[in-house]
Amino acid sequence: MGYILLAPEFIIVWAARQHIAACNFAKKHQENTGWTRAHAFFLIMGGFTLHEGGKPVRVLEARDLEELSEAGKIEWPTITEEEIVDRSKGDYLSKTIVPFQTTWFIGQCIARGAYRLAVTELEVVTLAFAVLTGVIYYFWWDKPLDVRCSIPVQLLEGHVGQEDTVSQIIPPPEVSAQEKEEDEEITVLPNPLPSSPIQVDKSTPDPALTNTGSHVVHFQEASDQGMPEGDDKVVVNAGPLPSASIQVDSSTPDPVLTRMEQFQAFRRRARKKHGPLLGLGYVFIVFPLQRFFVAFGDMIFCDTLEDKTLRVPTFYSPHEEDTRTAILLGMCVSIMFGAIHCIAWSFHFATLPERWAWRISAILVSGLPIAFSAFLALLMIFDGKIKTTGIELYEIFILFILWSMFFLYVIARITLLVLPFMALRALLLGAYVQLDWVSFLPHI
């Protein structure tokens, strides 16, 4: 919601990327497998998980599914479109209600303008978002909604245990240098191909393990970057193990850490690394802003699972050659989005500065995507002609221009969100007049 309020065209690019990838994948496999766009969307969402020996290995990407199926190591999933729709939390009724409400609102705005009745700035903003809603619904019409459980795809028995089955396609996650330097921590990495279950030796229980202390291995919940995730590494705190025979039973994991416990551990690490004051600023200011703005790049460029194994990134979409088409669609929608705000160019505002703030913000929202596209085009043309002697200064200049455009756009978007609510304090009398819809209908 926050992203679509501040930069809705990035959501459009993300939805367009997924739509293009789903259409291409469905077109490629529809004749042989009968898959539709619903199947392709379900695959992009992480709906199929590779299992070996009854245990999950990782989420299957489109490339993994094709290569493993061609190699005869898995069977192509035979789930029907009706079964996928049944898993979805949305149906055609719920999908139809929102476009109907949106169309009704757009019709009201057009009728009020035709009868010279006052249209408020808040209605103009809502009209712009209504148009975006229609575009997003078109791109995601066949996408299942809020599916919680993936479908297991079993590795065939003839290939279980072979080192070259999945390891070549699905490499294990790497351990960073910082984690290797943690001498007082035991890092338990997930085995991408577990050959046998790991058991806990409970024949001679150790009293040191009866306390919920530092030797308990917690399987974390999925969380933001900087906090361990459920499919990532699990860290056990310092202290020697009381017994060499103690192992971890992954089949019955201990209770996961709560969100508060994860946050406290993250805060302790930040304080240890940056100091008490800077660590506090990093936790509450730098880290949230970093995670918020990094997502804008993910909406355009995220096409891999990164370091995740059992879930896909939020703004993930498979790699496609025609990504520029999605970016071009996002730019066009952004220009249209800003142009709709220009409808209120001569509307009533309480003060003259508010009117000019609205006009300037509407121009920025409409024009910055064009300027951004032109700047990227010039960058691609002259990038190879820049001398290497000033490459560092050149890169700093490019980043400064790009980030300046981005922050100007965000400020303009916030202005266009705040001004409509400020205008409610001094509305014209015509804004309170309702349309007499009965006059439009035949009646006696």
Q: With H, G, I as helix, E, B as strand and everything else as coil, classify residue 46.
A: coil
Give me the pLDDT at residue 223, please.
38
Per-residue tokens: 312: 């896909």
Distance of CA 393 to the CA centre of its chain: 33
In sequence order, the 6+-apart residues with CB closer than 8 A to the CB of 313 are 298, 302, 305, 306
CA geometry: angle at 254 spanning 235 and 231, to 5°? 55
- Would you say residue 73 lies in a domain? no
Phi-psi map region of 53: left, alpha, beta (phi>0 left; psi -120 to 50 alpha): left
Say yes or no: 199 and 266 in one domain: yes
In a domain, 195, yes or no: yes
pLDDT tens track for 388-422: 555 567 677 777 888 888 889 889 999 999 999 99
pLDDT at 44: 93
Long-range pairs for 286-289: beta carbons < 8 A, 24 or more residues apart: 287/226
Confidence of residue 202 (pLDDT cuts 50, 70, 90): very low
Identify the domain boundary among 299, 329, 347.
299
Average pLDDT over residues 324-349: 88
Q: Which of 136, 145, 135, 134 is nearest to 41 (CA)?
A: 145
415 near 358, Cβ under 8 Å? yes
Q: Are residues 231 and 192 part of one domain?
A: yes
Domain assignment present for residue 394? The answer is yes
Beta strands 55-59; 234-236: pairing state: unpaired
Q: How far is CA 23 from CA 17, 142, 224, 336, in A?
A: 10, 10, 30, 25
Do the bridges between strand 234-236 and strand 48-52 make them parallel or antiparallel, or are there none, so unpaired? Answer: unpaired
For the segment 70-84, what is each residue's pLDDT rounded down to a tens digit?
A: 988 999 998 999 999
Specify whether 325 is located in the same domain as 381. yes
Alpha carbons 301 and 319: distance in angstroms, whole number = 9
Domain final position from 269, 299, 329: 299
pLDDT category at 441 given cuts 50, 70, 90 is low
Q: What is the mean pLDDT of residues 116-138?
A: 90
* 304 part of a folded domain: no
Residues 6 and 139 in one domain: yes
The residues facing 235 across adjacent strands are 187
The torsion angles phi and psi of 52, rounded to 5 degrees, stand at -135, 125
| DSSP calls for 326-340 | HHHHHHHHHHHHHHH
Same domain, 233 and 138: no
Reading the block at residue 430, the tokens are 């015509």
- Quickly tell me which residue has 């530092």 as its tokens: 214
Average pLDDT, the chain: 76
User: Nearest CA to 289 among 395, 369, 407, 408?
Assistant: 407
Which of these three, 249, 273, 299, is where a domain ends?
299
Whether 81 is covered by a domain: the verdict is no
What number is the average pLDDT over the span 230-246? 40
Residues in the chain: 444
If you ran DSSP here, which 8-state letter would residue 155 be given? B
Handedness of CA 433, 439, 443, 444 (dihedral sign): positive
The reply to whether 12 and 122 lie within a common domain is: yes
Residues 20 and 137 in one domain: yes
Q: Does 236 reside within a domain?
A: yes
List pLDDT tens digits, range 287-329: 888 888 888 888 888 888 877 788 888 899 988 777 778 888 8
Task: Output the pTM of the full model.
Answer: 0.69
Statement to judge: residues 190 and 216 lie in one domain: yes
Query: How many separate domains does the chain show?
Result: 2
Structure confidence at residue 211 (pLDDT)? 37
Query: Do 134 and 17 reside in the same domain of the chain?
Result: yes
Question: According to the per-residue pLDDT averaged within each range, which of 115-129, 228-242, 370-384 is highest?
Answer: 115-129
Look at strands 48-52 and 186-188 and give their pairing: unpaired
251 assigned to some structural domain: yes
**Residue 295 sits in the same domain as residue 353:** no
Phi-psi region of 60 (alpha: psi -120 to 50; beta: other; left: phi over 0): beta
Say if residue 231 is in the same domain as residue 329: no
320 and 256 in a common domain: no
The answer, yes or no, to whether residue 61 has pLDDT greater than 60, is yes
Burial 223-239 (b: 16+ CB within 10 A, else e): beeebbbbbbbbbbeee
Q: 55 in helix, strand or coil?
A: strand
For residues 351 and 246, which has the higher predicted lDDT (pLDDT)? 351
Domain that holds residue 35: 2-45+91-143+315-429
- Rounded to the nearest angstrom, the gap between the alpha carbon of residue 189 and the centroid of all alpha carbons in its chain is 25
Residue 424 lies in a domain: yes
Reported in sequence order, the residue ranges of 258-362 that DSSP labels E, i.e. its strands, are none
